[in-house]
Amino acid sequence: MEEFVGALGAARMLNAEQIVCSLLMSFVLCSVYALVYRITFQGLSYSRAFIHTMILGGMVVAMMIMAIGNNLARGLGILGTLAIVRFRTPIRDSRDMIFLFVSLGTGIACGAGTYGVAVIGTVMISGVALLLNYSPYASRRNYEGLLTFVVPSEAGNDQTITDVMQLCCASFHMIAMREAVQGDAVEYSYQVRLLDPSYQQELIEKLSDVEGVADAQLMMQRTTVEL
């Protein structure tokens, strides 16, 4: 009974030094997440406001946790207040949602005074985010672009063309072959993976120099296909 009354009673009092320390810790750690997010961002619409939201959100949550303390009544009151507020801003990318969630979690840890959990969690989660960004883990992209060109029907698939593609491509695979120019030519379509992205122009130039090859085009996959 005494524990129940204590939960409804006065919350633990924090001095100014503890409050400032918690808010500063939340600011620093959430700034680390913001930096990692900025480095590893691969989406379409980068938002400076989202970075600010991550940092400010962590600090606001830390302040709320310190205000609630171990007081159940305050916790229920703040919960009811937040239920009234509706945030209508959509988060389209699940990765953005995770970064926002981890910033809020860091704010909770700082507000509760568990700085060890906040610091170690920030270091490990940031490290994993960087590792996943620079590693091919979970990637299924085998080809980087679609190469098309037209050759005369009597020429067929000349060995010179194959040699050029082997020179510039790590791998290539023919996916389509159809008649063009009323049957006088054949259009070939290849999925290719370049040895280096800088070889795009060189591949087109070398193919265009091959006798009979016309209308050589290389359409690279958008970076938004797989993020």
pLDDT tens-digit map of 92-143: 788 899 999 999 999 999 999 999 999 999 999 999 999 998 887 766 555 5
Task: Name, of 36-40, 192-196, 203-207, the range with top average pLDDT.
Answer: 36-40
Separation between Cα atoms, residue 95 and residue 128, nearest integer Å: 13
The mean predicted confidence, pLDDT, of the chain is: 82
pTM here?
0.61
Separation between Cα atoms, residue 200 and residue 195, nearest integer Å: 10
The continuous run of DSSP H or E covering 152 comes out as strand 145-152
Task: Name, of 5-19, 39-53, 71-85, the range with top average pLDDT.
Answer: 39-53
Taking only the tens place, the pLDDT of each residue in 149-160 is 888 877 655 678
Mean pLDDT of 9-28: 85
DSSP state of 93: -
Residue 8 corresponds to which amino acid?
L
Contacts of 167 (CB under 8 A, 6+ apart): 206
The two three-digit tokens of residue 196, written as one number: 């280096």
Residue 6 corresponds to which amino acid?
G
Backbone φ and ψ of 64, nearest 5°? -65, -40
Contacts of 66 (CB under 8 A, 6+ apart): 14, 18, 19, 22, 111
CA-based nearest residue to 119, from 128, 111, 110, 130: 110
| Whether pLDDT at 85 is above 90 | no
pLDDT score recorded for residue 226 = 47
Domain ranges of the chain: 2-134, 145-220
75 sits in the region (left: phi over 0; alpha: psi -120 to 50; else beta) called alpha
Burial class (CB in 10 A: 0-12, 13-18, 19+), 12: exposed
Exposure string for 124-157, b = 16+ CB within 10 A, e = fewer:
ebbeebeeeeeeeeeeeeebbbbbebbbeeeeee
| Whether pLDDT at 62 is above 90 | yes
- Indicate the CATH number for domain 145-220: 3.30.70.260
| Whether pLDDT at 11 is above 70 | no
Separation between Cα atoms, residue 180 and residue 153, nearest integer Å: 9
DSSP state of 221: P
Q: How far is CA 83 from CA 21, 98, 108, 216, in A?
A: 29, 21, 18, 59
